[in-house]
Structure 1
Amino acid sequence: MSVQPVLAVVEATRLRAHDPAYHDYVQLLVGNVLAEAGAQGWSVDRLAADAGTEALLAATARADAIVIVGGEDIHPGFYGAQTGYPNESRHLPVADAAQLALARAAIERRTPLLGICRGLQIVNVALGGTLVQDLGEECGHVNRGVPIPQVLTTHTVDVAHGSRVADLLGEPTVEVRSAHHQAVDALGDGLVVTARSHDGHVEAVEHRDAPVLAVQWHPEDVHAPEGQLAALLAGLRTPALAAALI
């Protein structure tokens, strides 16, 4: 009898009582990841990084693959910058430190990892990269001044030929749903840019050696193209995991 593979789905926090609308929408997005993972045969551990680094590394030690989902801005101290930038969100430095450590551990262990939105930024910063702190008021990657369920925008990204994300999504140009005001600036060590947006910003990165893929957009949004989340989650399967998930 085969053992069901374990997927760790890691949030920054489960507690956003200060902003119920944002909390509810995050629960919807994460819920879509959980549902798709379950449909694909994963046993899912839903974890919050604000429990701290030691707790998160221990909780993910048995994971066969990891997803780091979206959330608040990473504290700029982790990439050598300052607070006080436009459209700054609250910061969760305990969760930041834990997710950064997790990303580095996953690369060291060669554990398949998918980063989504903040998850891409975590991977980049974990490997010494930096972030553009704010893309400006008219950046086209987030809608401002609207109810939370309407903050996501639709735009296209150009995917690099021969990349893993191209193999998974099967298109040279992909429509995506985004809600971010930050982006990759300096690229982290070992990473390769494999998709860019219509305005040139980094939209996907992959690790040269480890099974790590991260996207700046939200494939788990309800209005994302059908099958996009499923394809990216399927990309976490190694040959052994694929056999166990059948």
Structure 2
Amino acid sequence: MTDMTRASRPLLLVVDVSDEGRDDPAFHAELRALTASVLRAADEAGFDATRVAAEAAGVEGLLAELERADAVLLTGGDDVDPVFYDGQAEYPGRAQTFPAADRAQMALVVRAVEARVPTVGICRGMQLVNVALGGDLVQHLPGDAHVRAGAPDDSMVDHDVRLDPASDLAARLGGDAFDVRSSHHQAVGRLGGGLAAVAWADDGTVEALEHTAAPLWCVQWHPEDAGARGDVLSDLLAAARDEVAPA
């Protein structure tokens, strides 16, 4: 991890999926805007942040980045390739996949959990964490329940989420009920090793995970969206900052 005597602030590794090859330029631009919001919030939370695209970095590159990082945040984005969780190759609403990025990010998650590097996952980031630790995904939510159909310029859906009041995440976020913004057509299915579901939407969709032993917290919604309410992103980054190992 970063030598804290050589850095005035801890380093947050912000991991996106890819910088090129997307079929939908508008979606790519939306993801870049969301990442920019994360980087601003990281600065406000006391981190120096570096952004890396997993597809370009590959497994070795991403693990090398982890060696110098104090915390990790996995952003949202594209579908996780179903080959990594033995899913059906074809399913309703299948989006573009980046298997090289998936492979690199999964290696990163496993190493971060082993090394107890504080880790936050957002939307796809949460799904990737679950797959990396041996879980699977609901490949398509019935009726696109969490995606606003027919509105590509604003795919966010506002809805309520309830957290387990006894969870670490509820304590970190300062409450057990939130009005959130989501945009996803997949969800966590069977839980990966060491993970606990700690939040749900009204339809039963898992909305947050935490690890039972490592400093890892994930949310399915988008606290970094410009229209998000509350301080969830700041609180997640504060949780990671609080867990950074002292020099």
Q: Distance in 2 between matches of 1:159 and 1:227?
A: 15
Q: Distance in 2 between matches of 1:134 and 1:64?
A: 34
Report what 2:149 is aligned to.
144
Q: Distance in 2 between matches of 1:240 and 1:30?
A: 22
Within 5 Å, give how 1:1-246 maps onto structure 2: 3-16=8-21, 18-51=23-56, 52-139=58-145, 141-148=146-153, 150-238=154-242
Q: Over residues 167-194 of structure 1, what are the superposed CA-to-partner deviations in whole Å (9 max), with x where a residue is unaligned?
A: 1222221111100100111111111111
How far off its partner does 1:96 sit?
0.3
Q: Over residues 75-94 of structure 1, what are the superposed CA-to-partner deviations in whole Å (9 max), with x where a residue is unaligned?
A: 00100112210000011000
| Contact 2:15–2:52 (8 Å) recurs in 1 | yes
Which amino acid in 1 is paired with 2:129? Answer: V
Q: What's the % identity of the aligned pairs?
A: 45
Q: TM-score, normalised by structure 1?
A: 0.93
Relative to structure 1, is the Cα distance of residues 232 and 181 closer, same or farther in structure 2, using a 3 angstrom cutoff?
same
Q: Distance in 1 between matches of 2:95 and 2:162?
A: 28
Q: Distance in 1 between matches of 2:187 and 2:144?
A: 14
Relative to structure 1, is the Cα distance of residues 132 and 240 closer, same or farther in structure 2, using a 3 angstrom cutoff?
closer
Greater shift in the superposed pair: 226-235 or 114-123: 226-235
Q: Distance in 2 between matches of 1:82 and 1:159?
A: 30
Unaligned runs of 5+ in 1: none
Unaligned runs of 5+ in 2: none
Which amino acid in 2 is paired with 1:102? Answer: L
Total equivalences in the alignment:
241
Which amino acid in 2 is paired with 1:87? Answer: G
Q: TM-score, normalised by structure 2?
A: 0.93
Q: Over residues 138-189 of structure 1, what are the superposed CA-to-partner deviations in whole Å (9 max), with x where a residue is unaligned?
A: 42x11111123x1000101110112122112222211111001001111111
Q: Distance in 2 between matches of 1:198 and 1:174?
A: 12
Q: Distance in 2 between matches of 1:18 and 1:123?
A: 24
Q: Distance in 2 between matches of 1:121 and 1:9?
A: 16
| Contact 2:165–2:175 (8 Å) recurs in 1 | no
Q: Distance in 1 between matches of 2:87 and 2:23?
A: 26
Give the RMSD, CA atoms, in angstroms: 1.6
| Contact 1:104–1:126 (8 Å) recurs in 2 | yes
How far off its partner does 1:17 sit?
5.2
